Each structure stands twice: as structure tokens, then as C-alpha cells.
């Protein structure tokens, strides 16, 4: 149940993915609920971003705000009338109470705890108000919140699929706010009420909520409701010591797409951030979403923090790019090819296959092909290649042979160009590289290019090729 407070970060996406996989494995329903009770942090457009991200990653929900379901509405702000009703039930049963402490008193209490260096929690001043005192305050219109009345003695135990059985001393629990002064519920209360009313069986969330789980359990017990199965996931970290954070420049899902990563690769990599396949799949790295729904095992989730490694993601992305057929790759590559190649005479569909096997991300495309528009400044040292046995002098000689051979060529097909250059090398009793390397260098001005001399010659066309070869001779003169 995401909050519309900004971008979809990697941890959010992983939580949604694990929830989806658990639901599908159990023939259950994947529910999308928007938890927007924190109106101060609400970000316009964030809900649409959540929808778009889930759709792009294939995590299609069975019930949600836009498609409805038997347990709507699925936006918490539209369920506001429910929460006060349930909070009052807790007050009546002695599991919650009205608190009339103002901001000044609460701030003073916080400062006292800060100076005393003790954990800050509400001191329970209003726990013991009589029914008459409460009614008088309410009748006077005094602002209030409703707090959970946590037991001060004994222990509370809860079970989590990942972390096992956890027991806490009740004396450590804070009387958390359930209903705020504006009548809106806190997340900690609304999620319990909604999970019960919507028949939620499994709740997947970050491990930062482990400390709140005992209070959730006490709320379930106060209502007499069944506790759902908890699955708390360890954090996704930037490094050994720091969680991922937009503030520190860590990428969101949208950022990763803008960085040239494929959604399928992101989903595959994110699935393995804190989960390991077992059995016959233990050594497998690459999974489609459909394959994940078959092999995912809730008990494979690790309690150890997962480190997000951009280089590892590139490895996954390169695999997915290479696995695409030419027809699927071209639409993805086209915007990046157009960014680098403005010349309309260049057939981009011929360029695309040359770069497909040389990219980790789509952003790797443009820097490889910018020479198709114009040869960059380059040093004649590029012509000197030890393996090809070329130097400046014999490269100039080779280009002088190639120019008339290509000028005489009537058929400018790939095969005709290939046969022409190979025949020239044979006629001069040279290895192919002695001809091909100088041609490729003159055409590109680069030490590394997608495709070799024949491909570049074919794509550039006869006039542009001859123009660049003559410029190469002049460059070497």
C-alpha cells in the first residue's frame, strides 16, 4: 500500500513485486491501496506515477482505486469516516483514549527527554482522565487526538516470515496516535483497520515497520481480529552503511528508465535484492516475471540488507538487450540513434544491429555512432595498429588503393563491398587487416566502432565514403 509522497524508489518496487508474487503463487489477489492520510506530504502526480510504474513492470493489480473491487474505496482519504468509528470502539473497550495535550506541552516533553537523553515517548498524562473530564473537554470543543493505550507491563510477541518470532517489553511501547487533531487517521491505525476490512491475509512491508508490529498486534487483539501474516523485508542499501535515498542521488525506477535500463531487467534484478531462488534454480540469475511467479518462495527472502549495485544491474540489462530480436530492439534504440545521427541519408535500421551487442544500457548507443554525422578530430596514431601491422605510411598507401577500387564499384551492396576489399587485399598479397583498418579509421576517426570497414562503408554510402577516404589520405599527407 504505497503512499503518494513522491517517486517510486527501488525499495517500493521490490515490496510491490514480492507482494504480487506471493499473491499469484497462492492464487490470491494483489490489492493496490493508496495510503494518502499524510496530506502534508502528498505530492501531485504521485498516484499516476504509482499506476504507471506498476503497469510498466507488469505488476497488474486485481483490485484498486481505478478498477474497484468488493472492498472499496481503495484510497484511504475516501475512507475517513470509518476510522473514527473504529477508534471510538477502542476507546469504549479501554484500548485507546482521548488526549487533549497541546503542542506546547508535547514539545516541552520532547525537550525534557532530549536533555535527559531518554527515549522520547508520550508520558500518558491523559490516560487516567475520568469519563466526566473527557466529556467536558469534548463539549468545550477542546482539540484532541485519540491514542492507543498500550499495556505498561508484560510482553507482546509477534511472528514474521523473515525475522521469525520477536518479543518486546510492553514498557517500551509508546501510546501512539491513532486519530490526529484534524480527524485523519495515522498510517499506523488506518493500515490495521483497512487490512482487516479488506480481508488481507499477507502484509509485505519494509523492516523499518518491525518496531511498530507489536502495537499493530495489540490493536488486532483489542478489536478481536485475526492478525495477518507479516513479511518484513530488509532495506535496500547504497552501500554497507547507507540506505538508498533520493536526497543522495540514488535513482528511482523512473530514473533507471531514463538511464537506459529496460523495465524487465530492473524487475529481474530487484527480485534478487534480498531473495535467493532455491533448488534447481539456485544458480539461475535471469527470470521473466512469469518465471518468477513459478519459482518465488517466500522463505527465500533474506533478513540481511541488500546492496543495490548499478554495475550488476548493467550486467542484467546487457543480457536483456542482447536477447531482443532486431524488430524489438530497433524501437528502443531509435530515439538514441536519432540523438546522435542527424543525417537523414543514414539508414538507422542498418546501424541498430551494430550497437545491440555492444550496449549495457541504451545510453551507450549515441556515443558509439556520432561519427556517422561527421568524423571527429583524431590523431594519425589511430592508423598505427600493431596487430594489423599498419602505420601512417602504409595506411595512406592502402587508402590510395581502396579509393579507385570503390569508385569502380557499381553495386553498393554489403556483399559487393566486402568482395571488393577482400579481393584488393588478395591482389596486393596482404592480410585483410592491412586494408580494413585504415578504411575504418578514415571513415570513423575512432579506435573502436560498432561494425567494421565493410559495414561502415555500406551504411555511409558511396559519395560519403569516398569523401572521407580522400580526407583520410589528406590527413596522412
Cite the active site residues. 246
Number of Cα atoms under 13 Å in the Cβ half of residue 134:
17
Torsion of the alpha carbons at 231, 237, 242 and 247, rounded to the nearest 10: -100
Nearest to 403 by CA among 351, 457, 447, 350: 457
Total residue count of the chain as it appears in this document: 477
Q: 174 is written with which cell numbers?
A: 509508546
Collect all residues with Cβ–Cβ distance below 8 Å to 341 and sequence separation of at least 6: 348, 351, 369, 370, 372, 373
Name the β-bridge partners of 160: 164, 230
Question: Please, are residues 174 and 121 in contact by the beta-carbon 8 Å criterion?
Answer: yes
Positive or negative, the CA dihedral 348, 351, 357, 361 is negative
Query: What is the distance between the alpha carbons of residues 160 and 229, in angstroms, rounded to a whole number?
Result: 7
User: C-alpha distances in angstroms, 109 versus 122, 148, 305, 416, 468?
Assistant: 8, 18, 35, 86, 79
Amino acid at each position: 500500500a504505497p503512499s503518494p509522497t513522491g517517486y517510486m524508489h527501488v525499495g517500493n518496487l521490490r515490496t510491490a513485486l514480492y507482494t504480487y508474487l506471493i499473491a499469484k503463487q497462492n492464487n490470491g489477489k494483489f490489492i493496490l491501496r493508496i495510503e494518502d492520510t499524510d496530506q502534508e506530504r502528498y505530492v501531485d502526480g504521485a498516484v499516476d506515477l504509482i499506476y504507471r510504474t506498476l503497469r510498466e513492470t507488469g505488476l497488474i493489480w486485481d483490485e484498486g482505486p481505478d478498477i474497484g473491487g468488493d472492498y472499496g474505496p481503495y484510497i484511504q482519504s475516501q475512507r475517513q469516516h470509518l476510522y473514527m468509528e473504529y477508534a471510538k470502539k477502542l476507546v469504549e473497550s479501554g484500548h485507546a483514549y482521548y488526549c487533549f495535550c497541546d503542542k506546547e506541552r508535547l514539545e516541552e516533553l520532547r525537550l525534557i527527554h532530549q536533555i535527559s537523553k531518554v527515549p522520547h515517548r508520550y508520558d500518558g498524562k491523559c490516560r487516567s482522565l475520568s469519563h466526566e473530564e473527557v466529556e467536558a473537554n469534548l463539549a468545550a470543543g477542546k482539540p484532541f487526538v485519540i491514542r492507543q493505550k498500550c499495556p505498561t507491563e508484560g510482553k507482546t510477541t509477534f511472528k514474521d516470515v523473515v525475522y521469525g518470532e520477536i518479543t518486546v517489553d510492553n514498557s517500551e511501547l509508546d501510546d501512539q496516535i491513532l486519530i490526529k487533531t484534524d480527524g485523519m487517521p495515522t498510517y499506523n491505525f488506518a493500515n490495521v483497520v483497512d487490512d482487516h476490512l479488506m480481508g488481507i491475509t499477507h502484509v509485505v512491508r519494509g523492516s523499518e515497520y518491525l518496531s511498530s508490529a507489536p502495537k499493530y498486534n495489540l490493536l488486532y487483539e483489542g478489536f478481536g481480529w485475526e492478525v495477518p501474516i507479516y513479511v518484513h523485508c530488509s532495506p535496500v542499501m547504497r552501500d554497507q552503511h547507507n540506505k538508498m535515498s533520493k536526497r543522495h542521488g540514488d535513482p528511482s525506477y523512473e530514473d533507471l528508465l531514463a538511464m537506459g535500463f529496460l523495465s524487465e531487467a530492473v524487475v529481474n534484478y530487484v527480485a534478487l535484492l534480498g531473495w535467493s531462488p532455491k533448488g534447481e534454480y539456485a544458480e539461475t540469475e535471469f527470470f521473466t516475471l512469469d518465471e518468477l511467479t513459478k519459482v518465488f518462495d517466500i522463505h527465500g527472502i533474506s533478513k540481511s540488507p541488500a546492496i543495490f549495485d548499478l554495475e550488476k544491474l548493467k550486467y542484467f540489462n546487457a543480457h536483456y538487450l542482447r536477447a531482443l530480436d532486431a524488430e524489438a530492439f530497433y524501437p528502443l534504440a531509435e530515439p538514441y540513434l536519432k540523438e546522435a545521427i542527424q543525417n537523414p541519408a543514414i539508414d538507422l535500421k542498418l546501424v541498430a544491429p551494430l550497437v545491440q551487442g555492444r550496449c549495457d544500457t541504451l545510453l551507450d548507443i549515441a556515443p558509439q555512432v556520432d561519427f556517422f554525422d561527421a568524423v571527429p578530430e583524431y590523431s594519425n596514431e589511430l592508423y598505427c595498429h600493431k596487430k594489423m601491422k599498419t602505420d601512417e605510411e602504409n595506411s595512406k598507401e592502402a587508402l590510395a588503393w581502396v579509393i579507385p577500387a570503390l569508385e569502380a564499384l557499381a553495386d553498393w551492396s554489403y556483399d559487393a563491398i566486402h568482395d571488393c576489399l577482400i579481393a584488393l587485399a588478395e591482389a596486393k598479397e596482404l592480410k585483410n587487416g592491412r586494408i580494413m583498418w585504415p578504411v575504418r579509421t578514415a571513415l570513423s576517426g575512432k579506435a573502436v566502432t560498432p561494425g567494421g570497414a565493410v559495414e561502415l562503408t555500406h551504411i555511409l554510402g558511396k559519395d560519403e565514403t569516398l569523401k572521407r577516404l580522400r580526407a583520410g589520405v589528406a590527413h596522412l599527407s
